[in-house]
Amino acid sequence: MKRKKFILILASVFILAMVAVPTYAAVTDQQKTEIDALNKQIAELQKQIVDKYAEAGEITKAQADSTKANIDLSEQYRQQYAQQFGSAAPAQGYGPGLGYGPGYYGGWGANAGGYYGGCW
């Protein structure tokens, strides 16, 4: 009898925990706004970094413009799917031929100390 009571209590606690955790972990509208603002700041910083590489002569102006366009595209993609899927939004991938230079597809260290192309 005590064993059945213990199992019933344990099962009840487990079910309550399963229901309560997703509700507690939900992101509020204010937090979504803050996260969106931070992501926009990240995109702007990435563009500034690209500009610095162009100023230093590491990449051409055309490469910088292309990379900044990719950053804008990624930001639009993030905004579109963040509204639809929240934090479970699918990530935009990089396939062969995107960016320039060996980047990740050239193997780790293939472009050591250099510019990694459009891999942001």
Question: Do the domain assignments include residue 115?
Answer: no
Question: Do the domain assignments include residue 98?
Answer: no
- Torsion 25-26-28-33 (CA) sign: positive
Span 100-110, pLDDT tens digits:
544 444 444 45
* Beta strand residue intervals within the chain, DSSP E: none
CA 70/CA 91 separation, integer angstroms: 14
The whole domain housing 64 covers 30-81
Question: Do the domain assignments include residue 103?
Answer: no
Q: Do residues 97 and 106 make contact, with C-beta atoms less than 8 angstroms apart?
A: no
Question: Do the domain assignments include residue 8?
Answer: no
Question: Do the domain assignments include residue 71?
Answer: yes
Query: Which region among 16-25, 53-62, 77-86 has the lowest average model confidence (pLDDT)?
Result: 16-25
| pLDDT at residue number 90 | 55
